[in-house]
Amino acid sequence: MSVERIGFAEATGWKFAEGSARFEHATGRFFTIEGLRVWSDAGTVPSWDQPIILQPEVGTLGILTSMVDGERRFLMQAKAEPGNINQYQVSPTLQATRSNYTRAHGGAEPEYLDFFAADKDGVCVRVDQLQPEQGARFLGKRNRNMVVEVDGLPQPGPLFRWFTLRELKALMRLDNILNMDARSVLACIPPNGFDGAGLASGSGGECLGGFRAALFDSAAHGSGQTTEADPPFMWLAAARARRSLTADRIPLTAMRDWELTPSEIRHVQRRHFSVVAVRVEAGNREVQRWAQPLVSPVETGLVGLVCAVRGEVLRFLVRATSEPGNTDGPLAGPTVMTGEPGRRTRDALAPPFLGVVLRALGPGKFGRVRYDTLQSEEGGRFFRMQTRYVIIEMDEHEWEPDDPPRDFAWFTLAEILALNQRGYCTIELRTLLASLDLT
């Protein structure tokens, strides 16, 4: 795959709508780049403008699973995307928008598509959840995350390979190997997989010890049937009732603090991100030549999740995260996220607990870094965008006894997983959930 930065006028098939209100495909399909004006009481900036990706189609992210040589395995694809830092990344079996699988591009049908159809015989749907995408980049975007069990699948082609869950968890500890869509689906797989009897409290036992044993206990703590009356759901419902965020679509030319050039839609202070255009040639995709816009970051983001043993159980500090693209209200997100419009990170108004995460990542012995990896965001929409994902474990005595601010709450892993099953977690939190090894 070759990817070349080009000007907007060279992006074949794409055009600015009348008055440069939005950047769109000539067919009216795929997605558009539009302007958004936001008012929010959730952050340190009460109002701002920004470009946003509008893609109302619900895509399908699907992984096939089967027993292969006596062990459960998952069929993954080596998929190249124009925005990937390293081109090929380990991706779901199927990764397709509605425009892709209805062949709006005039190309071939994605492989294995029929296994994720509702009327397919001989398959067992193990996971089927609607999950949100980046609320700071997409407006109201949801994807269908699926895991489907099959028997007797023919030998896959050269771009597909069977992996055990343990192998996939190991790949999560390497930079930019598992793509965002794969991480999203893996986060939806229950901790005991599909073949175990469940996680009994204390199952970490004496054979594991340390942080991993604490993870098992946290995943088992209160992991029975959950309802909307349980604390995590009531906390999120209260945050949604309390917080106010409105967002109106506006013409690109009406955005405050942004400018349109022949090759970029960018912030006047070169902050946050820009929108660029690329020309792509690929020999193994449904379409072999195309052009498209991509969102290009200004800097590497930081996503941090803090955890500590509280009440003899490992708990994670999550935040009710308000983002303009999540139109239903706040979602459960990580403790800290930086680099987004509406968030300041370098002054006295920096988000709570950013200093805790930065101090743990610096010299000294403050906290223990349990996970620290660079992960790429979705290469079909973002240009070489990567985020540093970290999990920091703190000693209980390092925290003041006061409760955290009301947009924050301490939850066990079981409680967070229950939120995720209902589509209430951000993609950033799902990436961190996927990194936790309970195999």
The pLDDT value recorded for residue 137 is 94
* Distance between CA atoms of residues 323 and 25, nearest Å: 26
C-alpha distance from residue 157 to each of 153, 228, 429 (Å) = 11, 44, 32
For residue 344, name the pLDDT band (cuts at 50, 70, 90): very low
| Tens-place pLDDT, residues 200-225 | 544 444 445 689 999 999 999 876 66
| Tens-place pLDDT, residues 257-282 | 999 999 999 999 999 999 999 999 98
Are 239 and 383 found together in one domain? Answer: yes
- Highest mean pLDDT of the ranges 18-27, 145-154, 165-174, 362-371: 165-174
Are 336 and 286 found together in one domain? Answer: no
Work out whether strand 32-40 and strand 22-25 pair parallel, antiparallel, or are unpaired. antiparallel
Is residue 97 a part of any domain in this protein? yes
Q: Does an H or E element contain 186, and which?
A: helix 180-186
Is residue 219 a part of any domain in this protein? no
Place of tokens 């492989």: 111
Are 125 and 138 found together in one domain? Answer: yes
| pLDDT of 315 over the 80 cut | yes
| Token pair for 277 | 């255009």
Average pLDDT, the chain: 89
Is residue 237 a part of any domain in this protein? yes
Are 236 and 260 found together in one domain? Answer: no
State the DSSP code for 155: P
Q: What angle do CA 363, 361, 211 make, to 5 degrees?
A: 110
The pLDDT value recorded for residue 351 is 78
- Show contacts of 49-52: CB within 8 Å, 24+ apart: 49/250, 49/254, 49/255, 49/256, 49/257, 49/258, 50/255, 50/258, 50/272, 50/324, 50/341, 51/252, 51/255, 51/258, 51/265, 51/275, 51/295, 52/137, 52/138, 52/139, 52/249, 52/324, 52/325
Are 177 and 81 found together in one domain? Answer: yes
Is residue 392 a part of any domain in this protein? yes
* Distance between CA atoms of residues 215 and 158, nearest Å: 36
| pLDDT of 342 over the 80 cut | no
* Distance between CA atoms of residues 76 and 157, nearest Å: 11
Are 237 and 384 found together in one domain? Answer: yes
- Give the number of other Cβ atoms within 10 Å of residue 139's Cβ: 22
Tell me the average pLDDT across 67-91.
94
| Tens-place pLDDT, residues 348-358 | 457 789 988 99
Does residue 57 contact residue 17 with C-beta atoms inside 8 Å?
no
Q: Which residues pair with 138 in a beta bridge?
A: 53
Among candidates 201, 189, 146, 427, which has minimal Cα distance to 314?
201
The pLDDT value recorded for residue 340 is 56
Does residue 306 contact residue 353 with C-beta atoms inside 8 Å?
yes
Specify the pTM.
Answer: 0.92
DSSP-derived secondary structure for 201-224: TTTTHHHH-HHHHHHHHHHHTT-S
| pLDDT of 401 over the 60 cut | no
The pLDDT value recorded for residue 296 is 96
Counting every residue written for the chain, the total comes to 439
Are 76 and 125 found together in one domain? Answer: yes
The total domain count for the chain is 3
- Highest mean pLDDT of the ranges 61-65, 120-124, 311-315, 399-403: 61-65
Tell me the average pLDDT across 61-81.
94
| Tens-place pLDDT, residues 139-194 | 999 999 999 999 988 889 999 999 999 999 999 999 999 999 999 999 999 887 77
Is residue 218 a part of any domain in this protein? no
> What CATH number does the domain containing 372 carry?
3.90.79.40
| Token pair for 177 | 């190997």
Among candidates 139, 135, 55, 147, which has minimal Cα distance to 332?
135
Does residue 292 contact residue 282 with C-beta atoms inside 8 Å?
no
| Tens-place pLDDT, residues 408-431 | 999 999 999 999 999 999 999 999
Are 269 and 169 found together in one domain? Answer: no
Are 240 and 251 found together in one domain? Answer: no
For residue 98, name the pLDDT band (cuts at 50, 70, 90): confident
Work out whether strand 32-40 and strand 94-96 pair parallel, antiparallel, or are unpaired. unpaired
| Domain membership of residue 98 as a residue range | 59-198
C-alpha distance from residue 357 to each of 22, 44, 304, 351, 386 (Å) = 38, 19, 7, 11, 18
Rounded percentage of the chain residues whose pLDDT exceeds 70: 90
Are 290 and 303 found together in one domain? Answer: no
Tell me the average pLDDT across 328-336.
95
Biggest CA pair distance of the chain: 67
Q: Does an H or E element contain 99, and which?
A: helix 98-101
Among candidates 210, 402, 413, which has minimal Cα distance to 307?
413
Alpha helices by DSSP H, 221-255: 231-242
One-letter amino acid for residue 171 of the chain = L
Q: Which residues pair with 162 in a beta bridge?
A: 75
Are 279 and 326 found together in one domain? Answer: no
* Domain endpoint, select from 297, 314, 335: 297
Q: Does an H or E element contain 427, and which?
A: helix 427-435
Are 253 and 334 found together in one domain? Answer: no
133 φ, ψ (degrees, to nearest 5): -100, -170
* Distance between CA atoms of residues 313 and 301, nearest Å: 30
